[in-house]
Amino acid sequence: MNLICIHKNAVRTGQEGLLRFALTGDPVAGVVLNGMRRSLVHQSKRSTSPAPFQSLDIGKTVFAFPEDWKVDTQALQDPMDLRDRELLQARADIYYYQKNVVVPFEHENVSEQEGVTKPWLVLSNGRFATNVDMALLERVLSGVKADVVAVTADPKLLGEREEVRLTAGGKVAAFHRVYIDSAEFAFAATDWPHHLFIKTCVLERVLPDGVLPLSFSALTGKCRTEGLTLCAVNIGGAVLDLDSEEGLLSFCGMGLSKKHRFTLSSNGSKVTSERPRCVGKVLLGRDVSIAPDAVIVGPTILGDGACIEPGAIIYSSIVGPGVCVPKNELVQNCIIKGPRYERLFAIRNRENVSRRISKLSHVFEFSKDPCRSFRKWGPFSYARCLKRITDCLVAVVILLLFAPLFPFIALAIKLTSPGPVFYRDWRQGLHGKDFGCLKFRTMITGAHAIQEKLRIVSQVDGPQFKMEDDPRISTVGRFLRETYIDEIPQFFNVLAGQMSVVGPRPSPESENTLCPLWRDARLSVRPGITGLWQVHRTRQPMRDFQEWIHYDIEYVRNLSLKMDLSICWQTTRKLLDNFISQF
């Protein structure tokens, strides 16, 4: 079970409390409640781990709010539309506490479908909304040997970002680029973490009588008294403070979906203009009045009974229930709550606030695109359509031609060197997805460990390794390499969609991380069996890596059918020359 709790001592509970305003006013409450429900259980698109997460089945989500935040739900007993039904369902999972939070876990620690005990009870801090990679979180929880784990989302540990390191004089000393989200151990704080994971087998010892302590320090003290282990972990993730204007605006803006685009539906709203000027995602409460010449630009939420007078402009804001916006007023990137025309902040230039909200939304967005830094092509372009069809046809033809030779090649490899016939190495493909690149084995077993000892005599620059008369290569393997027959199994990767006939050389993550611009360019397309660098490299000392970067970027920039045909022709000539030179 995931209990989302609003702690009295962690939010502003007076009239200035934004979170209280959001959770007690329609229709903002429905957006916030449903957003909270998705905050933890969302699986990031950056994750490559299969779903669902068996060991992180948290089950039902329940809310615990202070008693004085209670809302009358009688008006929603006969829901009129989808929004009302969602709000009614969300509020059905709320219980209100007076002094102590009682955790209702008696019936939630056993899965009804599988009849097995769920491993964790999750206590989430309702003031904050977080977005973390669930695959990473699952690995962290499975690797930590503790009874209670305090998890805090830390934007500094997010991947796909760069940091500039400066000297004392303000000059650029280095760029630090992080590719994947990470996690690290931390000291347990005195405040409630974003999420607290408690093993169900120790619940009665941590929470006697099911009562949650008022402070996190009291809970940590209880763990020490009971001899339980507690550890704190910071994990890469975005965080929004829902008790702040910036955080609440950003969170509600992302919570609006396509179904919230403005329509003249039967929700009781009154639009006095024949052609209302509403753009984007606009959510209306009941009895909303929008006058002629008023402009509403989403993402915007207008509360029940709100009145927008002629000429007023509402842009990316929240207008509370019963608020009347005077004519010709500009309301931009702010929250107004009523019933009188009261603003938390005076209307002023909000460019800095807008930039902060845009930055938060870019990191926190639930539909985050993991491929935004790569070059893209249209669905029917050569790079995405014709090239893929051609790859499959060429791969089938090549594999059929060489299929009769496979048994003889396999026999030669087995007779001259102990070990498997095929060698599979993990490389990064399209958009950085790992795959096993297949080749006929040309080296002795354990060659990778020997390579580190020989790196001092490498004859090329950069991360790759090459030397004449490499002692790791077997006799048959040398012939297979010189004739490029060892790369024939890669056509199976082509059929699987992991590689292309023509493209950048498939490289592991350790090589791709050395140059961000080069990495993003070459991972925009599938790696190839042959490519521009392979046919144009000069192998001059200390220039190979620079040529590799240059030709990969040039290929992605100028990708076309003409270039692929030219590379295939040059590769064919090179293969014939090398094969003839062996005899």
Which among 79, 32, 93, 88 is positioned nearest to 286, based on CA atoms?
79
Which among 97, 113, 96, 117 is positioned nearest to 105, based on CA atoms?
117
Q: For residue 280, is it left (φ>0), alpha (ψ between -120 and 50) or beta?
A: left
Provide the token pair at 220. 């940590």
Per-residue confidence (pLDDT) for residue 461, from 0 to 100 = 53
Q: How many residues does the chain have?
A: 583
Per-residue confidence (pLDDT) for residue 151, from 0 to 100 = 93
**Looking at this protein, which amino acid is placed at residue 3?**
L
Per-residue confidence (pLDDT) for residue 103, from 0 to 100 = 79
Which among 156, 160, 135, 152 is positioned nearest to 190, based on CA atoms?
152
Helix (H, G, I), strand (E, B) or coil at 97: strand
Per-residue confidence (pLDDT) for residue 408, from 0 to 100 = 92
Residues 25-53: tens digit of each pLDDT? 778 888 888 888 776 654 444 444 333 33
Give the Cβ contact number of residue 221 at 10 Å: 12
489 in Cβ contact with 422 (< 8 Å): yes
Measured in degrees and rounded to the nearest 5, phi and psi for residue 529 equal -70, -35
The architecture of the domain spanning 2-243 is Alpha-Beta Complex (3.90)
**If you write DSSP's letter for every residue of 17-29 in order, what string do you get?**
-HHHHHHHSTTHH
Answer whether residue 389 shows pLDDT above 80: yes
Answer whether residue 392 shows pLDDT above 90: yes
Question: 171 or 43: which carries more pLDDT confidence?
Answer: 171
d(CA 391, CA 306): 59
Answer whether residue 387 shows pLDDT above 90: yes
Output the pTM of the full model: 0.64
550 in Cβ contact with 521 (< 8 Å): no
Residues 251-308: tens digit of each pLDDT? 888 877 655 555 443 344 555 444 557 788 888 888 888 887 888 888 888 888 888 8
The architecture of the domain spanning 255-364 is 3 Solenoid (2.160)
Per-residue confidence (pLDDT) for residue 69, from 0 to 100 = 78
Per-residue confidence (pLDDT) for residue 42, from 0 to 100 = 46
Mean pLDDT of 539-556: 84
**Looking at this protein, which amino acid is placed at residue 558?**
N
Question: 432 or 170: which carries more pLDDT confidence?
Answer: 432
Question: 489 or 213: which carries more pLDDT confidence?
Answer: 489
531 in Cβ contact with 567 (< 8 Å): yes
Per-residue confidence (pLDDT) for residue 195, from 0 to 100 = 92
Per-residue confidence (pLDDT) for residue 258, from 0 to 100 = 54
Domain with CATH 3.90.550 in the chain: 2-243
64 in Cβ contact with 95 (< 8 Å): yes
Per-residue confidence (pLDDT) for residue 568, from 0 to 100 = 93
Mean per-residue pLDDT of the chain: 77
Residue identified by tokens 């506490």 is 97
Residues 334-366: tens digit of each pLDDT? 888 765 444 443 343 344 444 444 444 444 444
Residue identified by tokens 């006697």 is 208
3-state DSSP helix/strand/coil percent for the chain, to nearest 5?
40, 20, 40
Instruction: Choose the weakest-confidence range: 23-27, 464-468, 568-572.
Output: 464-468
Domain with CATH 2.160.10.10 in the chain: 255-364
